[in-house]
Amino acid sequence: MGSLTSASDNTRLAYETDVTQFAQWVADNGTKKPGGVTRAQVKQYLAYLTRNDHAKRTIARKLAALRRYYGWLVRESAGSRRRVANPTIGVRSPQGEGRLPRILGPDQLDALLSGNQLELDDPAWRLARDTAVVELLYGSGLRVSELCLLTPANIDLRAAAATVWGKGSKQRRVPLSPPCIVALERWSALRGEIATETGLRAPLFVNGRGNKLTPRDVRRILDRRAIDPTHPHALRHTFATHLLDNGADLRAVQELLGHASVATTQRYTHVSRERLQSAYLASHPRA
């Protein structure tokens, strides 16, 4: 998909998967070539996804992938005898807010940060690494992909800050909390026991084989520590919501999260309002 050259690897992979799934669906329904797809088929596909309980946000992303793909295909076919029409024109995304971000409760967060339920015979390097990973995800609101890209050169413990490479290769600087600094110091002291690479440009976090930590490795870390199934992004959601709950400016939270648009950050204000409403209903004698 040539129109995705500026997108992140995860975005490209998601869009390519979405287009492939659509191509398989229309092929199963008798259309073998992309130029033969009609607007009615695109609408039927969205209805099919809705009937199969796909979230509105997921369906909207799949439609966005098809729009990007057909926009590229139309440009590529311009001037040829077999010009392709764009069947996504006039097709609307599902309306609605979609699901609000999931926020972790105090017990869930404490279990992830402390790792108290882990076996005592876990090697010290694993406990140190896993604690540093969770502290960065929650304390600095990193995406899991951003965490996996970190190198020792990105960490400035004296300034209590980290340099992060976000979506679209955009760089930002995020603060490190005091517990995170302690966790990173412990991990740095033990990292050499298993890491296969050294130096400031080597991966900061490595797996048990000494290789660069992957998003799947991070999910395994949370699976071992969590009292409930927890996705790494839930820690980022919790980071943002806790900031807003405690009076942080929306624009500041946007910058910390690396959101291109403040509209993306605004969904956390809905979560904060819901939490306040729930607290009022549960606690106020007149509620």
Asked if 143 is an active-site residue, the reply is yes
pLDDT digits 0-9 by tens, 36-83: 999 999 999 998 888 887 878 888 899 999 999 999 998 888 777 778
Instruction: Name the nearest CA neighbour of 92 among 52, 54, 48, 56.
Output: 56
Same fold, 2-77 and 106-280: no
Residue of 67, 236, 237, 242 with catalytic role: 236
Name the token pair of 10: 């995860």
Q: Is 242 labeled as catalytic in the residue annotation?
A: no
| Contacts (Cβ under 8 Å, ≥6 apart) of 162 | 136, 140, 150, 154, 155, 156, 173, 174, 176
173 as an active site residue: the answer is no
pLDDT in tens, 220-238: 999 999 988 898 999 999 9
Is residue 170 flagged as an active site residue?
no
pTM of the model: 0.65
- Indicate which residue of 233, 251, 270, 273 is catalytic: 233
One of 12, 56, 102, 167 is an active-site residue; which one? 167
Q: Fold for 106-280, please state it.
A: hpI Integrase; Chain A (1.10.443)
Say if CB 88 and CB 73 are below 8 A apart. no
Task: Give per-residue pLDDT as tens, 107-161.
Answer: 999 999 987 655 567 899 999 999 999 999 999 999 999 999 999 999 999 999 9
The domain segmentation of the chain, as residue ranges, is 2-77, 106-280
268 labelled catalytic: yes
Does residue 236 have an active-site annotation?
yes
**Closest alpha carbon to 108 in 237, 229, 5, 257:** 229
Domain range 2-77, CATH class? mainly alpha
Phi/psi at 105 (5° precision): -80, 170
- Among 62, 68, 129, 143, the active-site one is 143
